[in-house]
Amino acid sequence: MSDVRYSDQHEWVRLEGDVATVGITAFAAEQLGDVVYVELPDNGRALGKGGEAAVVESVKAASEVYAPIGGEVIDANMALADDPAKVNADPEGDGWFFKMKIADAGEFATLMTREQYDAFVKEH
């Protein structure tokens, strides 16, 4: 069973065991517009919570993607390099950015639930 949480920087994290899959939310993808380029982190890269992890560029802007929790990158979605539009088509599914082995499961619990994130988006 996986659980999904959200950051205030509009990233989502799906946790399965000690592996977290990270991407940007549908709200973030909509705000960016058509994604034209994605720069992904290298495998083995250590990421601290809140640290810069990736870059996403759209026709409107370039934006950092931050690590919502800390850990070590174990996989990057290389399909995005060939088809960055996957981020727009399925931001919370096939448009994921990277997977990492988490360092501290307690960090996951500090992130927002779907209901909390939806309320956060409405307020901002």
pTM of the predicted protein model: 0.95
Q: Is 59 among the domain residues? A: yes
User: At residue 62, what is the residue type?
Assistant: A
**CA angle 21-26-28, nearest 5°?**
95
Sheet holding 98-102, edge to edge: 3-6, 11-16, 19-24, 98-102, 71-76, 46-47
Count of structural domains, the chain: 1
Q: How confident is the model at residue 2 (pLDDT cuts 50, 70, 90)?
A: low
54: CATH: 2.40.50.100
Any domain includes 85:
yes
Tell me the residue range of the domain where 29 lies. Answer: 3-104
Burial class (CB in 10 A: 0-12, 13-18, 19+), 94: middle
Q: What is the pLDDT of residue 124?
A: 81
* Residues contacting 47, CB < 8 A, separation 6+: 41, 53, 67, 70, 71, 72, 73, 100
pLDDT in tens, 45-82: 999 999 999 999 999 999 999 999 999 999 999 999 99
Q: What is the mean pLDDT of residues 91-118?
A: 96
| 86 belongs to a structural domain | yes
> For residue 115, is it within any domain?
no
